[in-house]
């Protein structure tokens, strides 16, 4: 998820307040909906995005950038960022953003030269990294409920 | 507002509040009265929950135009500044729909529009309410959306309308003034550049997978055989049907001039068919190609369709970043937008798969 968790929870609460609760006719159901807001208000200051997968991802990206830097030295500048002291998920997300920028810049150099053997191998490794990153994300991404959303519910999800 | 007035004009923006229906109704009545120069009666507005970006209201209206009384059920479509593709303009959609009124493309009749955001706080246009239901690509079990008889019946009209759109002679109509690419060698590359610019606008973080896709798409960009009006979002979910008859093609907000094969590629996206082997739940790729060629007289290769399918998947992935951004940074609280953000990994893998298929 690339939405800040705090904003996500605020948005859920706002939607419950303005778009859901005013249209819930049953008083018990309305109370339960307010209960959702109450819980979200209390969960918000206590949670952040899971750090372990982010830390793994940052490590994988640093390894890739180190490999890239052997052929594209300017990509290696981002490796000077300190790896210690990343104490929050936001720190890790910021590190991931800087590494992705370096990888993006490197793609612009590697892609046109991929017919050269060394650059070709690197292009394959970059593609494999990007694939693995998304495949790992998919393991924790649930099937979208678009059919239910579009039809106004009716399933158990 | 007439078709020529206010084009490209941006006034001081009023705040657009889609829940303030009485204020919208009053402002709309004033606007229509000014356009027609006669009294107008706008009935209560009811909001429809369709669409992911423009806000849609239905209402009954009575007005006088050129001395004749009219009373009809109408639709008001407003493009909120916080919407996925905001800031919007109503002009391209309005003049395209007006130009197509006499064509074989089923479209709602349009009446008035304005891009002056001081009126409602958002660009808007008014058109006829067309009867019908919009079949959607997502089914509860991921299976077919139609039985075979309905699939072929609706699919035939779906391709006929697309062929009619692409064959429409736009050159001497006001549509010639809308955005797009007229150079057959540049249409794909300019589309890739435009959507990468959107990505940069919508995502603070770089997205290497899409940067790689953009490099791939630029390198393989085909030369268009012709330049047509392209709908930009032509698919199941964006038309209305009644008893097996398509009554209107909707959602023209991405309309532009470009390579018509772009629309064919968009029809083929994985996202519009689930596990169905049929593009948009209608036809397999080969049959879609053959039917289109028979109607237009233009042969299209599966390779070009695959290229534009890859481009379309890339474009849809970028749209997911737009949805994420309008929730995360523009204060748009529609949870469907956040939900699209959660599906970005799925989209990026589909981009990768579409590129592999087209390679």
pLDDT score, position B6: 36
Residue B5 DSSP label: T
Q: In chain A, count H helices and then E strands.
A: 6, 0
Over chain B, what is the mean pLDDT? 92
B49 CB neighbours in chain A (<8 A) are: 152
pLDDT score, position A126: 97
Over chain A, what is the mean pLDDT? 92
Residue A23: exposure state from Cβ atoms within 10 A (0-12, 13-18, ≥19): exposed
Asked if the model's pLDDT at residue A24 lies above 90, the reply is yes
Asked if the model's pLDDT at residue A14 lies above 60, the reply is yes
Banded pLDDT at A146 (limits 50, 70, 90):
confident
Q: With contact defined as beta carbons under 8 Å apart, do A73 and A89 qualify?
A: no
pLDDT score, position A154: 52
pLDDT score, position A102: 98
Q: What is the mean pLDDT of residues B288-315?
A: 98
pLDDT score, position A157: 37
**How much of chain B, in percent, has pLDDT values that exceed 70?**
96
**Is the CB of residue B330 less than 8 Å away from at least one CB of chain A?**
no
Which of A2, A18, A131 lies nearest to residue B205, judging by beta carbons? A2
Q: What is the mean pLDDT of residues A118-126?
A: 97
Asked if the model's pLDDT at residue A155 lies above 70, the reply is no
Q: What is the mean pLDDT of residues B150-179?
A: 97
Banded pLDDT at A156 (limits 50, 70, 90):
very low
**Is the CB of residue A139 less than 8 Å away from at least one CB of chain B?**
no
Using DSSP, state whether B81 is helix, strand or coil.
Answer: coil
Measured between alpha carbons, how far is A101 from A99 in angstroms, rounded to an integer? Answer: 5
Banded pLDDT at B333 (limits 50, 70, 90):
confident
Q: What is the mean pLDDT of residues B280-295?
A: 98
Banded pLDDT at A153 (limits 50, 70, 90):
low
Q: Hey, are the CB atoms on A111 and B136 less than 8 Å from each other?
A: no
Which of A1, A100, A126 lies nearest to residue B341, judging by beta carbons? A1
Provide the b/e sequence for B272-284 (b: ≥16 CB within 10 Å): bbbebebbbbbbe
Chain A residue closest in CA terms to B351: A131
Q: List % helix, strand, coil for chain A (3-state, nearest 5).
A: 75, 0, 25
pLDDT score, position B81: 85
The predicted complex's ipTM stands at 0.93
Q: Hey, are the CB atoms on A2 and B203 less than 8 Å from each other?
A: yes
Write out the DSSP string of B214-229.
HHHHHHTPPPPS--EE
Measured between alpha carbons, how far is B99 from B138 in angstroms, rounded to an integer? Answer: 32
- Residue range A62-114, pLDDT digits in tens: 999 999 999 999 999 999 988 888 889 999 999 999 999 999 999 999 999 99
Residues 6+ apart with CB under 8 A from A92: A51, A54, A55, A57, A58, A86
Residue B283 DSSP label: B
Which of A2, A146, A148 lies nearest to residue B341, judging by beta carbons? A2
Residue A145: exposure state from Cβ atoms within 10 A (0-12, 13-18, ≥19): middle
Banded pLDDT at B7 (limits 50, 70, 90):
very low
Q: Hey, are the CB atoms on A147 and B140 less than 8 Å from each other?
A: yes
**How many other β-carbons are positioned within 10 Å of the β-carbon of residue B39?**
11
Chain A residue closest in CA terms to B327: A11
**How much of chain A, in percent, has pLDDT values that exceed 70?**
96
Using DSSP, state whether B127 is helix, strand or coil.
Answer: strand
Which of B206, B336, B352 lies nearest to residue A100, judging by beta carbons? B206
**A 48-107 residues with CB < 8 A to B:** 96-97, 100-101, 103-104, 107
Pick the closest to residue B311 from B277, B278, B354 (CA basis): B354
A111 CB neighbours in chain B (<8 A) are: 212, 215-216
Write out the DSSP string of B33-61.
HHHHTS-EEE---EEE---SSSEEEEEEE
Task: Tell me which H or E stretch contains B238.
Answer: none
CA distance A118 to chain B (A): 18
Q: Hey, are the CB atoms on A104 and B208 less than 8 Å from each other?
A: yes
Q: What is the pTM of this model?
A: 0.93
Give the number of A-B residue pairs with CB atoms closer than 8 Å.
Answer: 102
pLDDT score, position B67: 83
Q: Hey, are the CB atoms on B352 and A131 less than 8 Å from each other?
A: yes
Helices marked H in chain B: 21-36, 91-100, 117-120, 148-167, 187-202, 208-219, 261-267, 285-296, 302-328, 335-342, 344-358
CA distance A27 to chain B (A): 23
- Residue range B191-220, pLDDT digits in tens: 999 999 999 999 999 999 999 999 999 999
Q: Hey, are the CB atoms on B212 and A130 less than 8 Å from each other?
A: yes
Token pair for B98: 């007006």
Q: Hey, are the CB atoms on B349 and A107 less than 8 Å from each other?
A: no
Q: With contact defined as beta carbons under 8 Å apart, do A74 and A34 qualify?
A: no
**Is the CB of residue B200 less than 8 Å away from at least one CB of chain A?**
no
CA distances from B233 to A26, B83, B138, B230, B316 (A): 39, 16, 16, 9, 10
pLDDT score, position B13: 57
**How many other β-carbons are positioned within 10 Å of the β-carbon of residue B330?**
16
Q: Hey, are the CB atoms on A100 and B207 less than 8 Å from each other?
A: yes
CA distance B329 to chain A (A): 9
């Amino acid at each position: 998820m690339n939405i800040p968790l705090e904003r996500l929870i605020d948005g859920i609460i706002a939607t419950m307040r303005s778009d859901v609760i005013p249209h819930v006719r049953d008083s018990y159901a309305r109370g339960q909906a307010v209960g959702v807001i109450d819980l979200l208000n209390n969960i918000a200051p206590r949670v952040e995005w899971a750090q372990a997968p982010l830390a793994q991802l940052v490590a994988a990206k640093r390894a890739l950038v180190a490999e890239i830097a052997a052929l594209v030295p300017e990509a290696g500048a981002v490796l000077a960022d300190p790896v210690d002291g990343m104490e929050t998920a936001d720190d890790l997300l910021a590190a991931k953003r800087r590494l992705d920028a370096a990888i993006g810049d490197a793609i612009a150099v590697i892609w046109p030269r991929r017919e050269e053997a060394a650059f070709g191998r690197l292009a394959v490794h970059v593609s494999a990294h990007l694939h693995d990153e998304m495949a790992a994300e998919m393991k924790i991404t649930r099937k979208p409920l678009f059919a239910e959303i579009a039809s106004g519910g009716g399933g158990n999800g | 507002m007439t078709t020529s007035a206010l084009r490209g004009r941006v006034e001081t923006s009023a705040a657009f509040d889609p829940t303030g229906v009485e204020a919208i109704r009053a402002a709309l009545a004033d606007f229509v009265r000014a356009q027609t120069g006669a009294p107008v009666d706008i009935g209560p507005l009811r909001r429809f929950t369709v669409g992911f970006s423009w806000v849609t209201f239905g209402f009954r209206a009575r007005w006088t135009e050129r001395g004749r009384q009219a009373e009809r059920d109408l639709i008001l479509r407003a493009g909120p500044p916080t919407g996925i593709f905001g800031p919007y303009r109503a002009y391209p959609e309005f003049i395209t729909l007006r130009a197509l009124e006499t064509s074989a493309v089923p479209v709602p009749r349009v009446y008035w529009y304005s891009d002056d955001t001081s009126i409602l706080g958002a660009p808007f246009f008014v058109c006829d309410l067309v009867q019908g239901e919009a079949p959607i690509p997502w089914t509860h079990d991921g299976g077919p959306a139609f039985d075979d008889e309905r699939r072929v019946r609706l699919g035939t009209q779906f391709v006929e309308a697309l062929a009619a759109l692409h064959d429409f002679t736009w050159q001497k109509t006001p549509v010639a003034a809308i955005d797009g690419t007229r150079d057959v060698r540049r249409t794909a590359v300019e589309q890739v550049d435009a959507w990468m610019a959107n990505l940069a606008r919508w995502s603070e973080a770089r997205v290497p997978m899409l940067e790689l896709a953009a490099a791939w798409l630029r390198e393989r960009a085909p030369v268009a055989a012709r330049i047509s009006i392209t709908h930009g979002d032509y698919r199941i979910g964006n038309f209305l049907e009644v008893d097996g008859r398509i009554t209107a093609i909707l959602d023209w907000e991405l309309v532009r001039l470009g390579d018509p094969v772009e629309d064919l590629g968009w029809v083929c996206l994985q996202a519009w068919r689930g596990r169905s082997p049929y593009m948009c739940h209608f036809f397999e790729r080969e049959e879609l190609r053959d039917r289109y060629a028979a109607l237009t007289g233009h042969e299209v290769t599966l390779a070009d369709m695959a290229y534009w399918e890859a481009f379309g998947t890339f474009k849809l992935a970028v749209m997911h970043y737009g949805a994420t951004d309008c929730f995360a940074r523009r204060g748009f609280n529609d949870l469907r937008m956040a939900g699209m953000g959660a599906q970005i990994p799925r989209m990026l893998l589909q981009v990768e798969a579409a590129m592999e298929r087209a390679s």
